[in-house]
Amino acid sequence: MLLTDVESRTPVLVARTNGRAILTGDGGGNPKLDYLRTHDPLKEGDRILTSGDGGVLPRGLPVGVAVKGLDGGWRVALDADAAPIDFVQILLFKDFTQLLQPKALEPSVLPPTATGAPVAAPTPVAQTPVAQAPVAQVPFAKNPAAKTGPVKAPAKPAAASH
């Protein structure tokens, strides 16, 4: 997705102040800087980089420079040029440890909603590993003696006559 796409929302940072913002595409050439959080005021020409927040893009990729828009808001003049693309780089980013702490992944127990009575906290259950018997790896082979086709019911024996 392009940074200028109206559906694009990219977390970025200001290199000079480490301030955070969301780069919001609006279909124009210079996307908007929304939700800017910084203690120091933004200055024209400040470098804008990817922040790494959200885990989609790594931190520190150059995006562009801050410029004042005609509407008085902050925008980013992108580093990318409008020439046809002849080189693409694929980023294999797999470090999602910054998103959640291991404690956040543990299931939480909520009290039942039927009564207003307080519920005691559940006692933790120790999990012990279950030993499993080794499974033999057997290659699949067809039995040449086996017949293929629909299964037929066995013929009924003829009734004995007296």
Per-residue pLDDT of 118-160, as tens digits, reads 555 555 555 555 555 454 454 544 544 545 455 555 555 555 5
Rounded CA-CA distance 4/56 in Å is: 17
pTM above 0.85, yes or no: no
> Range with the lowest mean pLDDT among 5-19, 106-120, 123-137?
123-137
Mean pLDDT of 61-76: 93
Q: Kindly tell me if the per-residue pLDDT of 48 is higher than 50.
A: yes
End-to-end C-alpha distance for the chain, whole angstroms: 88
All domains of the chain, ordered by start, with CATH? Answer: 9-78 (2.40.10.350)
pLDDT, the chain, mean: 74
Instruction: With CA atoms as reference, report the closest residue to 47 among 19, 5, 8, 88.
Output: 19
- What pLDDT is recorded for position 9? 95
